[in-house]
Chain A
Amino acid sequence: MKKVFTKPKSLKDVPFHYCPGCGHSIIHRLVAEVIDELGISDCVIGVPPAGCAVLAYNYFDIDMCEAPHGRGCAVATGFKRAQPDKIVFTYQGDGDMAAIGTAETLHAANRGERITAIFVNNAVYGMTGGQMAPTTMIGQKTTTSPFGRRPEVEGYPLLITDLIATLKGPSYVVRHSLATPAKILATKKSIKKAFEMQIKGLGFSLVEVLSPCPTNWKLSAVDAFKFLESRMEKEFPIGVFKDVTKG
């Protein structure tokens, strides 16, 4: 028998600190597999978020630079403009990308900044204990929306990926989900395509990944993954929103 699945080289041999059933480590693995497959581990620079994945640099065996909360796309812009030959990506959660970082994300996308943004959407602020995120859904209870999110008070979940897809700058904008192994593989394919866009010199590529947070959703891991399909995918439709390589 031959080994058909093993840990990618671009991940260090460090056990993950994430909660059981968290989507982060799956996405870390997908990104690392893509980095391995594209052979870019020695010319890639990653920018992790503030959030549960703040310690992502403990796992990825690549050059990584911390950024102030939300400013990942601006820091990545600095790296890419100073070193246009390197592959630069951000890895951000819902607060980082779509709350405090909205301006930096939007403008990097609008400039067609040649970076890749991996957006982990779990509809809640995990690290700080489960507060409402811009992507929290109507009726969803969090520690700062204890009555469930109400549109007349807290507004609606922000579909930032859809917004960014309307801009001329980005070249590839997609949303995926981790709900099943098949969907996980589809997510990986898009992450790979997003990096390939950057390698080709095309503008801003964004992959949003619907990801579970069993701890703050107060669900078991298995139920949290089911919730992705039963609820989140209905609110945040999966699909390719923009792909300049396809007419």
Chain B
Amino acid sequence: MALRGKITIDDNLCKSCELCISVCPEEAIRISDGINYKGYHPAEFIKDRCRGCALCAIICPEIAIEVYRGK
């Protein structure tokens, strides 16, 4: 069974650079319609597609993403 994963994105740290989206192999992240206190549309996690590979967290310049992995 494939590993499942989940990420949390800190809305207020996100600067909407979209790097996480560009590296995610499962297209599990998208830009939300919301606005954070800095005026950015933060990225948001689309559940149920994540493998917990952490590529998004590795490239996120703001360290806004925490990654969980397990069964």
Contacts and interface: CB of A to CB of B under 8 A. Distances in A.
Direct contact of A and B (CB under 8 A): yes
B15 interface: yes
A222 B22 contact: yes
* Chain B interface SS verdict (over half): mixed
Contact of B23 (A11, A181, A214): A181
B46 interface: no
A26 B59 contact: yes
A16 B61 contact: yes
Contacts of B70: 1-2
Interface residues of B, number: 29
A3 B61 contact: no
B19 A4 contact: no
B53 to A, nearest CB: 9
A25 B65 CA distance: 13
A184 B17 contact: no
Given A5-B67, A180-B23, A222 B54 contact: no
A181 B18 contact: no
A223 to B, nearest CB: 10
A99 interface: no
Contacts of B66: 3, 5-7
Contacts of A21: 15, 17, 19, 61
Interface of B: 4-6, 12-13, 15-19, 22-23, 40, 52, 54-55, 57-59, 61-63, 65-71
Given A1-B5, A16-B61, A26-B59, 12 more contacts: A1-B69, A2-B69, A5-B54, A5-B65, A7-B66, A16-B13, A21-B19, A26-B61, A29-B63, A220-B17, A221-B17, A221-B18
Interface of A: 1-7, 11, 15-16, 18-26, 29, 180-181, 184-185, 214, 220-222, 225
Closest 10 CB pairs of A and B: A1-B70, A20-B15, A221-B17, A5-B67, A20-B17, A1-B68, A21-B17, A181-B58, A5-B57, A181-B55
